Chains A and B, each alone.
Chain A
Amino acid sequence: GAGVSQSPSNKVTEKGKDVELRCDPISGHTALYWYRQSLGQGLEFLIYFQGNSAPDKSGLPSDRFSAERTGGSVSTLTIQRTQQEDSAVYLCASSLGARGEQFFGPGTRLTVL
């Protein structure tokens, strides 16, 4: 596809369950970012991947959050033992190189009941 895609578009889960959110970046983009958009906190940086380098995980809010990027392409954000405060829209972005313009996906809206 031409843009960044994310799946699912919506996810409703029960408190305590694990969830996986997927991001497909633009083909050829080496940099990939995850952000979270929530009512209380606005838009926050979560994690950054660049090629085969170690990711910058400095924005992950707790050790329940983890992310991986397989083969330098698709990325999965995993939230374990979800809490209600994890409810947010999770946005993925990719860019051509570390300083390139970031192109955002449509996001995954996560609701934790």
Chain B
Amino acid sequence: GEDVEQSLFLSVREGDSSVINCTYTDSSSTYLYWYKQEPGAGLQLLTYIFSNMDMKQDQRLTVLLNKKDKHLSLRIADTQTGDSAIYFCAETISGGYNKLIFGAGTRLAVHP
């Protein structure tokens, strides 16, 4: 079946790196995504990685994918207070469209 798991909470100091982890169960996942949700706002796509890639870097964001262990991580370098939000990992399985299967979300708190 399809299942995505994340730790629920992460606290970091401003300027440090944040690493948010995710595991998924569906080996047929084609794309894996990271979404950000700020209070009272909808979901914003941060980045995504295709399942045949190991790493993707986009400015302060680095996504690492270990397909063997079905483990995905999001690293945010130089974390800022504006990065405080809930981060959702999501997968899509092979098929005709992008049905997203979400994790429970990791709440990132950035403190001075």
- A-side residues, CB < 8 A to B, are 4, 31, 33, 35, 42-45, 48, 50, 56, 91, 93, 95, 98-107
Contact = CB atoms under 8 A, between A and B. Distances in A.
Interface in B83-112: 88, 90, 96-105
A56 B97 CA distance: 10
Interface in B30-50: 40-45, 48
Chain A interface mostly: strand
Interface in B9-56: 40-45, 48
A14 B42 CA distance: 25
Contact of A95 (B90, B98, B102, B104): B98
Contacts of A99: 97-98
Contacts of A35: 100, 102
Contact of A42 (B41, B96, B102): B102
A42 B99 contact: no
Contacts of A56: 97, 99
Given A102-B45, A105-B42, A107-B42, A48 B97 contact: yes
A104 B43 contact: yes
Contacts of A48: 97, 99
Contacts of A50: 97
29 contacts: A4-B42, A31-B97, A31-B98, A33-B100, A42-B102, A42-B103, A42-B104, A42-B105, A43-B88, A43-B102, A44-B102, A45-B99, A48-B99, A56-B97, A56-B99, A91-B42, A95-B98, A98-B96, A98-B98, A99-B97, A99-B98, A100-B98, A101-B45, A102-B45, A103-B45, A104-B42, A104-B43, A105-B42, A106-B42
Given A42-B105, A43-B88, A102 B41 contact: no
Nearest to A107: B42
A9 to B, nearest CB: 9
Interface centre among A4, A42, A44, A50 (most CB of B within 10 A): A42
